[in-house]
Chain A
């Protein structure tokens, strides 16, 4: 057993911190509070320095296949509230293609992504509780697929050349790349102002060669995509909640009421300690899920456990942080509020705690 990080992983952590501290200063973040939250400059900086290749095989231009490395990136993006939404691109598209495709045309997208281009995914559907069973349909005739359906919460769809969509067909579930020009895209406004889109597909025609996996592996690929999406979102939540907890520690150690620092009230220090406990649990379940998904394509229970902890920690730590800050925590001139919004998105996107607990309960009782 070995929980320790490799030296290159600590280096990634430190050097990412350096870049993001500089780029995510309040002045910069403010620019994206109300308008399209996507920092092109930061994206190209990350690309130039090779960070978009984390978790990608060297032969495609990455730093080596390892989801733990990629987790560090999302943790840090969360920690610094970076104005970038990259799970669709780096996780759903790049990782799934890397694992399931042997077609050069698809694999070239990975290289394109590493260079800083956007190719996103559109998986979730309004009110569909079971993303493994898409309502979006593909009619297959000969070599042609005709796709119809509605997807939402697709990150950066407007910037994306290709969109990876999940569909159902008489051949079962498929993951298909669609040219974004063939879809209708409209911007949604989410609570954290994330660059999120509705994608309508009205009889969009694509060639069979746009399916990214070999025959019969569609469901397996989609399940893998959903699981790594959960785990990387949980890493984002880890960064968000780590930051909120460090803000609690710093602020309550300075703020005075009744002639003493408020951290010296036991109720305050205990509530902060509870945040620390949650964080420790979240960090470990994330680590386990990322490591296991490195060697096994299906670790649904590990992914669910990570996401359940992420949802719960995001909720609890957010309200602890707000409470322990008093009024200043709600003031948009202070930084906590951005993290509260991000925490809510991490909590609910790709399955809430209650929903995932039900799912986990079904899994662990159905194999008996």
Chain B
């Protein structure tokens, strides 16, 4: 009996294997080189938090040339076909550096176009995405369609030479420097909500396209975007007519996992731990000598461990092409709510100093804490709101009856 147990234990491995560890250090080295002082300075400017500046554009094209775009794409589409675990490591490493890598363009929109797009889209759009030359904004949400996304009203009507698009989107992030909008529209008005949706590629330089900026609590800009009689050729439709919903949902689990990657919060924890270690509070004491500071650090540490394991396990499950619905939702709910608690506990450690903005005298850690707490809530209602995720957990994980 004993022997068998030992064999089992030896087979289980809860850490990166040698190949994965090598990839991680390779990526670390690559991104350290990519993050030049000029790029870092640009990304510290509130107008460029999320990219779009000249240094950012250069970096994207460099990455394209070096083959670091399209990791999830199939080989025959020009990608690297990395496994889910390798993709997770990529996301982790990029996020730790703070580079606002446009994951949705390169890892969601890109492969979908490469697979389901028209010949024009495959040639013109997918190729340029791989080269780091195109950015997409995601046009899903509308003023009255957020959580209930399938109720969206922006419409595309078939005309002789294509589709005529009219409507309004809300929260179209990155639209201010994007080349195209990945737009969800209603194309059938008779059927159930999610059955009449189609996806179009809409160029932002069209005359009928306009936008107004929405400034947010976290200083990230997003946009209200308007579509006024925009005519796009048939070839701008992605996938089949009225089957857009499956494109919207096909990558959701991967996207959710990317949202709660444990890399950035661990990075922040390390920064605060180091700073607290070096911070003298009187002649012979450091911040880390205080028992409540140890307590806060330990809480964050134990929270990160759980998050890392949840994410790793989910990714490991995906490696074998399976999917556990409940666990994907666990990762999203736990991760997004843990971030809020972690930022709070870390801010408490640095106390009032963590209230100071980056440009202020006495500010600490480039005011990362001051910025993070302002953006944290978006993940709890965005990317599939946590209430709905909890419904899924109760149904799929506990086999309980549906609520309402």
Contacts and interface: CB of A to CB of B under 8 A. Distances in A.
A337 B344 contact: no
B355 A191 contact: yes
A329 B362 CA distance: 30
Contacts of B306: none
Contacts of A323: 377, 380-381, 386
Interface string A255-274: 01110000001111000000
B146 A327 contact: yes
B269 to A, nearest CB: 16
A9 interface: no
Nearest to A355: B292
A319 B340 contact: yes
Interface stretch (A123-131, A140-148, A165-173): A123-131
B354 interface: yes
A335 to B, nearest CB: 11
Contacts of B292: 354-355, 357-358
12 contacts: A189-B356, A256-B144, A257-B147, A258-B147, A265-B387, A265-B404, A319-B377, A326-B385, A329-B217, A330-B378, A341-B217, A354-B345
A96 B171 CA distance: 49
Interface of A: 124, 126-129, 152-153, 186, 188-192, 198, 256-258, 265-268, 315, 319, 322-323, 326-327, 329-333, 337, 340-341, 344-345, 348-349, 352-355, 357-358
Main secondary structure of the interface of B (DSSP, over half): mixed
Interface in B329-347: 340, 344-345, 347
Interface string B331-374: 00000000010001101100111111101111100000010011
A188 B364 CA distance: 13
Given A190-B355, A190-B360, A332 B347 contact: no
Given A256-B144, A326-B381, A327-B381, A332 B215 contact: yes
A319 B145 CA distance: 22
A329 B377 contact: yes
Contacts of B380: 319, 322-323
Nearest to B375: A330
Given A352-B351, A354-B292, A332 B356 contact: no
A326 B217 CA distance: 13
Given A191-B370, A333-B214, A349 B355 contact: yes
A155 to B, nearest CB: 13
Nearest to A315: B344
Contacts of A188: 356, 360-362
B387 A330 contact: no
Contacts of A127: 279-281, 287, 351, 353
B109 interface: no
Interface string B210-225: 0000111110000000
B218 A330 contact: yes
Given A327-B170, A330-B218, A357-B292, A348 B377 contact: no
Contact of B217 (A198, A258, A265, A337): A337
Contacts of B216: 330-332, 337
B141 A128 contact: no
B390 interface: yes
Instruction: Give 4 closest A-B pairs by Cβ, nearest first.
Output: A322-B377, A189-B360, A352-B348, A337-B217
Contact of A268 (B146, B287, B387): B387
A311 B370 CA distance: 16
Interface string B186-205: 00000000000000000000
Contacts of A340: 217, 374
Most chain A CB within 10 A, of B218, B352, B387, B404, is at: B352
A323 B389 CA distance: 14
B148 interface: yes
A344 B354 CA distance: 10
Contacts of B387: 265, 267-268
B157 interface: no
Given A256-B144, A330-B217, A352-B347, 9 more contacts: A129-B290, A191-B374, A198-B362, A326-B147, A326-B381, A327-B141, A333-B215, A354-B295, A354-B348
Contacts of A268: 387
A348 B354 contact: yes
B291 interface: yes
A186 B363 CA distance: 13
Contacts of B287: 127
Contacts of B373: 344
Contacts of A319: 340, 376-377, 380
Interface in B139-177: 141, 144-148, 151, 170-171
A189 B358 CA distance: 8
B146 to A, nearest CB: 5
A340 B218 CA distance: 11
Nearest to B219: A332
B345 to A, nearest CB: 7
B281 A128 contact: yes
Nearest to B218: A330
B221 to A, nearest CB: 10
Contacts of A327: 141, 146, 170-171, 378, 381-382
Contacts of B144: 256
Contacts of A329: 217, 377
A244 to B, nearest CB: 12
B215 to A, nearest CB: 4
B390 A267 contact: yes
A349 B344 CA distance: 13
A344 B355 contact: yes
Contacts of A129: 281, 290, 351
Interface in B251-292: 279-282, 287, 290-292
A190 B377 contact: no
Contacts of B345: 354
Contacts of A153: 352
A50 B359 CA distance: 38
B296 interface: yes
A189 B359 contact: yes
Contact of A326 (B146, B347, B352, B359): B146
A359 to B, nearest CB: 9
A124 B356 CA distance: 14
Contacts of A355: 292, 348, 351
Contacts of A126: 353, 362
B382 to A, nearest CB: 8
A153 B291 CA distance: 25
B281 to A, nearest CB: 5
A209 to B, nearest CB: 31
Contacts of B351: 127, 129, 348, 352, 355
B171 to A, nearest CB: 5
Given A319-B377, A327-B171, A354-B295, A186 B390 contact: no
A177 B188 CA distance: 75
Contact of B214 (A192, A315, A331): A331
